Amino acid sequence: MNRPAVHVIGTGLLGTSLGLALRRAGYEVTLADLSPTARRLAADMGAGTAAEPEDPGIVVVATPPDVAAPTIVEALRRWPEATVTDVASVKTAILVRVREQTTARELDRYIGSHPMAGREKSGAIAAREDLFAARPWVVCSDEDTPSERLAQVVALAEATGASVIHLDPDFHDSSVARVSHAPQVLASLMAAQLKDMPIDGVGLAGQGLRDVTRIAASDPGLWTQILTGNAAEVREVLAAIRGDLDTMIDALELAPGAFASIASLLAAGNEGRDRIPGKHGAAPAKYAEVTVVVDDTPGTLGRLFADVGELGVNIEDIRIDHATGIRLGSVDISVIPAAQLTLTEGLLERGWRVPEAAIEQEGRE
Amino acid sequence: MNRPAVHVIGTGLLGTSLGLALRRAGYEVTLADLSPTARRLAADMGAGTAAEPEDPGIVVVATPPDVAAPTIVEALRRWPEATVTDVASVKTAILVRVREQTTARELDRYIGSHPMAGREKSGAIAAREDLFAARPWVVCSDEDTPSERLAQVVALAEATGASVIHLDPDFHDSSVARVSHAPQVLASLMAAQLKDMPIDGVGLAGQGLRDVTRIAASDPGLWTQILTGNAAEVREVLAAIRGDLDTMIDALELAPGAFASIASLLAAGNEGRDRIPGKHGAAPAKYAEVTVVVDDTPGTLGRLFADVGELGVNIEDIRIDHATGIRLGSVDISVIPAAQLTLTEGLLERGWRVPEAAIEQEGRE
């Protein structure tokens, strides 16, 4: 397929990352942004040319989500031949607003999409060419969508290295409310509880708290737009969580039956956790874990992984336990079970400290 | 100091790990467990001798938390010279129960402690000699605690590689309610929402959801004991979170003022997150991040880290982004800012794909 010229409106994290990825894939990219400085920065980074195109093949709206709908409508009018897509994390509300303001012919040229990629950082400066590589990219089309336009959007998404998934907008919105929006709210509410506690208490934090609250570092402005844009779906999930939270709080009064309530809430969490796919979209794989205790001196991890490489073992995952107070840490290396013995013995021979290891499920990690 | 003989009661994850660590440090260790099989397994793993000691110097109660108090009382009576400690994650409730059933002289020999270490896995089979290495180990003493007994417990904790922190039991319990118990509840309640959703929707999960729900894989039985053992403190934190959750749910009706409420809840999360100490207990360090995109074929990560090692750069942290659907992933390597350029250029020279990097704060990761 011929690569259509792409015009990206909005040169934040997503727009700039997209420009970088498309340029590398051989697309011609022009850039627009309300802020001339942001547009210039993206252009300087190599994401495209700061110019208004005559006749772009595809327009990608990568503005903040609260202005996505009017920007899509404007693009459909301004470039009457172009396919218009967007990358906002909410799809139904935008589609409804675009439909209200366009003709059926105009609407046929709009295909909503949502690359499931992002960072806790924002702006062009945080952009990376490979932001979309190996991530799902949801494309929302219906029976009226012209197939050649759909193919253009799919080709663009795949050119970034993403994996395209076709979903209905409502299904998309209710799914992301659960897998993305509600987790953001819970991480933020948990982290907010640390705001006023004595610093000696915060010092007891372990990896569990760090993991639960990592995304609490995200941009409040952007997330306010995302949550309000998917308000009904997010409310529904949060209301269900509040119901369970009420049950937990009541149970902690320790009346008869309380222990069973608490245990069953925790067991439901086990079940839900087990449904999250493992690496490569497969069912949770069983990996064996080899734990190595390391001194955190320069070059130690490099030497460790050099040794792992020389042993011919492929690393499926790595977890580094952050040490507190002293310069010592442990590294959990996940490998296929068949490689565990080779790795354990090989590392022991090379003088590494490898405590007894047992075969563990990655799904329980 | 002479190393006192240690008797460990309860050979689960903590007791067995402790035995392994103490044996390595040169302590003589005996083991007890209600289950002869569990005791035998721990002994076979090298955690100590399956025997009843005559006159142990220290008794460590590492039973499930719901039987810790009676086990401590029994140990104080049975070995009238021994110092008795425990490793339960709740301290006030246990101290109160022990105090009710002991004389002041007996009570002087009890020093509660809590190593801030654990895994999502349980049992002797998951034990590791270095479980406590580089972790905080809270010791709860008061003005009546004989200093030589306190020194014994501190020496034992330090022999495992842990870092001792002296805290009041109430302060300990209210702190762990925030940094450990409430995060466990939120992770479980979030994961429970995935239980009944369509699997195609769960497939959109990204690293954010994985991190938020990782500890939802923990053992419901153990956590029921932990949460009920610290019920009042956990309720208080959960009630505060429920207040914020109500505010969020109400705000998502999008009445006037809603956006400000949502943004300020998210901003409070930013503030709380920023208070979590970085690696080595220091204030969040500013690291530079170098992102490398890798094909996930055998040996790739090994070769990457071998190259990093040869470049003489120390790795402060690593994050691997799990790919979905295709065999490609990205690796974020955190290094001190001064090493970023060396690493980026060195890796590019060696043929690695390194998208543009910017200096980032680890604290925002």
Of A204, A252, A325, nearest to B227 by CB-CB distance is A252
Cβ separation A314–B305 shorter than 8 A: no
Cβ separation A195–B268 shorter than 8 A: yes
Contact B197 A178 (CB under 8 A): yes
Model confidence at B96: pLDDT above 80? yes
Q: Of the candidates A216, A15, A230, which has an alpha carbon nearest to the alpha carbon of residue A120?
A: A216
* AA letter at A244: D
Contact B325 A129 (CB under 8 A): no
> Nearest chain A Cα to B171, which residue?
A201
Which conformational region is residue A311 in: left (phi greater than 0), alpha (psi within -120 to 50 degrees), or beta?
alpha
Beta-carbon separation of B213 and A134 below 8 A? no
What local confidence, expressed as pLDDT, does residue A296 receive? 66
pLDDT of residue A326: 43
Under DSSP, the state recorded for B294 is E
Q: Is the pLDDT of residue A153 over 50?
A: yes
Residues of A in contact with B186 (CB under 8 A): 186, 189-190, 212
pLDDT bucket at A294, cuts 50 / 70 / 90: confident
| ipTM attached to this prediction | 0.78
Residues with Cβ within 8 Å of A279's Cβ and at least 6 positions away in sequence, in order, are A285, A316, A317, A362, B322, B323, B329
B287–chain A nearest CA distance, Å: 14
Query: In this complex, do A245 and B189 lie within 8 Å of one another by their Cβ atoms?
Result: yes
Name the token pair of A77: 């009018």
Of A138, A191, A244, the CB nearest to B269: A191
How many interface pairs between A and B have CB atoms less than 8 angstroms apart? Answer: 527
> Are the Cβ atoms of A360 and B121 closer than 8 angstroms?
yes
Task: Select the highest-mean-pLDDT range: A242-256, A293-307, A339-353, B342-356.
Answer: A242-256
CA distance, residue B171 to nearest chain A CA (Å): 8
Q: Please, is A236 exposed, middle or buried when counting C-beta atoms within 10 Å of its C-beta (0-12, 13-18, 19+)?
A: middle
The distance in angstroms from the start CA to the end CA of chain B is: 43
> Chain A closest CA to B77's CA: distance in Å?
30
Which residues of chain A does B213 touch, with a Cβ-Cβ cutoff of 8 Å?
A: 183, 269, 272-273, 276
CA angle B330, B209, B215 (to 5 degrees): 105
| Identity of the residue in B202, B231, B239 whose CB atom sits nearest the CB atom of A275 | B202
For chain B, percent of residues with pLDDT exceeding 90: 63
Residue B359 has pLDDT above 70, yes or no: no
Out of A180, A303, A329, closest to residue B309 by CB: A303
Domains of chain B plus CATH, in order, are 6-167 (3.40.50.720), 173-274 (1.10.3660.10), 288-364 (3.30.70.260)
pLDDT value of residue B363: 30
Number of other residues whose CB lies within 10 A of the CB of residue A312: 13
Mean pLDDT of A216-227: 92
Q: Which H or E run contains B83?
A: strand B83-86
When CB atoms are compared, the residue of A197, A232, A309 closest to B175 is A197
Interface touch A356/B45, C-beta < 8 Å? yes
Are the C-beta atoms of A280 and B323 separated by less than 8 Å? yes
Which residue in A has a C-alpha nearest to residue B163's C-alpha? A325
Residue B287 has pLDDT above 80, yes or no: no
Residues B355-363, mean pLDDT to the nearest whole number: 39
Amino acid occupying residue A196: D
Which chain A residue has the Cα nearest residue B283?
A: A203
pLDDT at B120 over 80: no
Q: Which of A239-248, B56-65, B115-124, B272-281 has the lowest mean pLDDT?
A: B272-281
The closest of B235, B187, B232, B192 to B211, measured between CA atoms, is B187
For residues B79-96, give the mean pLDDT: 96
Mutate to test the interface with A, among B179, B199, B262, B294 (most CBs of A within 10 A): B179
Sheet arrangement for strand B288-295: B288-295, B328-335, B317-321
Contact B246 A242 (CB under 8 A): yes
**B192, A258: Cβ pair inside 8 Å?**
no
Q: Which of B276, B296, B297 sits opposite A202 (nearest CB)?
A: B276
Query: Which pLDDT score is estimated for A352?
Result: 86
Length of chain B: 365
Is B134 in a helix, a strand, or coil? Answer: coil
With a cut of 70, say whether residue A292 has pLDDT above it: yes
Rounded Cα distance between B32 and B58, Å, is: 13
Lowest mean pLDDT among A341-345, B178-182, B242-246: A341-345
Q: Return the pLDDT at B361.
A: 30
CB contact under 8 A, B193 and A259: no
B97-107 average pLDDT score: 96
- Which chain A residues are Cβ-neighbours of B309 within 8 angstroms? 299, 301-303, 305-306
> Quick one: A278 exposed, middle or buried, by C-beta within 10 A (0-12, 13-18, 19+)?
buried
**Most confident option among A119-123, A267-271, A321-325:** A267-271
Torsion of CA A142, A145, A147, A152, to 10 degrees: -100
Per CB-CB distance under 8 Å, the chain B contacts of A47 are none
Which chain B residues have a beta carbon less than 8 Å from that of A273?
Answer: 191, 194, 213-214, 216-217
